[in-house]
Amino acid sequence: MKITGRRIEGFLENPTDGVAVVLIYGPDQGLIRERAERVMKAVAGSTDDPFRTAALNEQDAIEDAERLASERSSMAFGGGRRVVRIEGGDRLVPAAERALSAEGDGLIVIVAGDLAPRSKLRKLCESSDAAAALPCYADDAQTVQQMIRDSLSAAGLTASREALAHLAENLGNDRGVSRRELEKLTLYMEGAGPEVSIEDARACVGDNAGRGLDQITQALAGGDLSGLAHAYASALELGNGPIPILRAAQRLFQRLHQAASDVARGSRPEQAVESLRPPVFFKEKPLFIKALSGWSLARLGSALDVLTEAERACKSGQGPDEVICERALMRLARMAR
């Protein structure tokens, strides 16, 4: 079953007992991690209890399709429901199918990237009553502001209208990064009073929107070589690996390719961007519209080939992954010029 909208919060607080597999996927890696942790804590009480939680490698589950089913059937020492976390994609479908039909009450939490609607894993979990699929898309303006209010309220704080606007503009669209910045702000405000002023917000939270994967995609689309180098270094510093970075770039060019196809059929760039699903993050719409005037369908196809080959090279051990990824990104930025 597909869990969306207001149903997500209720499911995270109390995952259904009859659910054997939870798929958490989408472009917002910070939100994915946050929701995976919440599901694990709701079921097992923590994310690191060695008797009730475990982490499994994707390759192990692929090589032994019964492994996930066996993990789900295993009983937790001391009682309670067991949770097994695994990262992967469509190659996990055979193992996930077996886990869904296995005996036992264990829960398998699958953490994935931005799966397309035609993804076999996504279809499996959306169509099965024993599975749940939770999409994690970038926050829109209203959601960002509500998340800020909730985080500040939990710390006994409020924010002025100007401070709220500044925070919403500069936190970026990765939930995990935004949470860390808000935690830093609450520490900054200790003993300073209940309301966050615009001065407080500016002093504590700068242009964090430029420090995640979104800044890499912005530099790629616009051919900004120096900006790309800075964004790439920042993304690595924030803990993003080469493969997630390459996949973020792939998502960008896949969406641009889809929009460019609509433009080729007669749509205006603004219409093509507005029709993309999931919706384009509100702050990125001008970037998409501008990029459509500079990237042809043929060059967008070539860009996707470059990224596919770079990911293959990383997985084949052809060199340091960071170097392979950076070279591919720089090549694309030059293509944009």
- Residues 137-154 have pLDDT tens digits of 766 667 788 889 988 999
* Residue 173: predicted pLDDT: 61
pLDDT, position 230: 85
* CA distances for 237 relative to 41, 102, 180, 212, 230, angstroms: 27, 41, 14, 10, 11
Residues 263-301: tens digit of each pLDDT: 888 888 888 888 887 777 776 788 888 888 878 888 898
The domains found in the chain, sorted by start residue, are 7-135 (3.40.50.300), 141-209 (1.10.8.60), 213-336 (1.20.272.10)
* Distance, CA of 68 to CA of 59 (rounded, Å): 12
Is pLDDT larger for residue 239 or for residue 250?
Answer: 250
| Nearest CA-CA partner of 282 in 144, 115, 88 | 144
Pairing of strands 107-111, 21-25: parallel
Q: How far is CA 275 from CA 23, 158, 266, 278, in A?
A: 26, 36, 13, 9
Read off the pLDDT of each residue in 111-138 and give the average, rounded to a whole number.
Answer: 90
